[in-house]
Structure 1
């Protein structure tokens, strides 16, 4: 597998996560009470699959979750985040960790693009 293939797969996973998380953060900050938001349910499902491998997570999701935890230097409680997305009362309490994850994804996105373009970083 070439470097470009490796990084393009990571790039796609980062993009998918970032789009979902950004959409959720925007809706949370707008105090959108719509529990049936597609982005909320998709992100909740994604985070639920990361709980102790119970949900049979996609390898790329598991890899990105590990990268995020390493970058943030903390173990993320994916189950707590998933539960927070389900519960309208708890949703605003998860904004800070979602923003931390979003910032980490932004940095990893920039690093990945640089590696794809120039082969280093």
Structure 2
């Protein structure tokens, strides 16, 4: 569970959850029971880390099922794309994971660079003049 002093950005949490979904897809594609068990444990841990207050048992189960459904969808689409392009499913899933990490890094770099409209003036409340 997160605390009040947590400094993570929402994009970091979204990236983490995205990687969990790709991990679930990889486990489903592998058909390996141990990988699927590890993925389910990873989903539970990640959900617990991302919430600010304890979830009810039902809320936690719904979150886990959403992540699993995302993994199932990702596995199916990755399999179809791999078959269509003649690449391996592992390569497609690896590309998806790289894209998630890259998108999060780009967001972080943009935030670190500051506002992109530096030449425009805001009023004292931070609002753009009409």
- TM-score strictly above 0.5: no
**Which structure is higher in RCO with an 8 Å CA cutoff and minimum separation 6?**
1
Shorter-chain TM-score: what band?
0.3 to 0.5
Q: TM-score, normalised by structure 2?
A: 0.38
Q: TM-score, normalised by structure 1?
A: 0.40
* Structure number with bigger Rg: 2
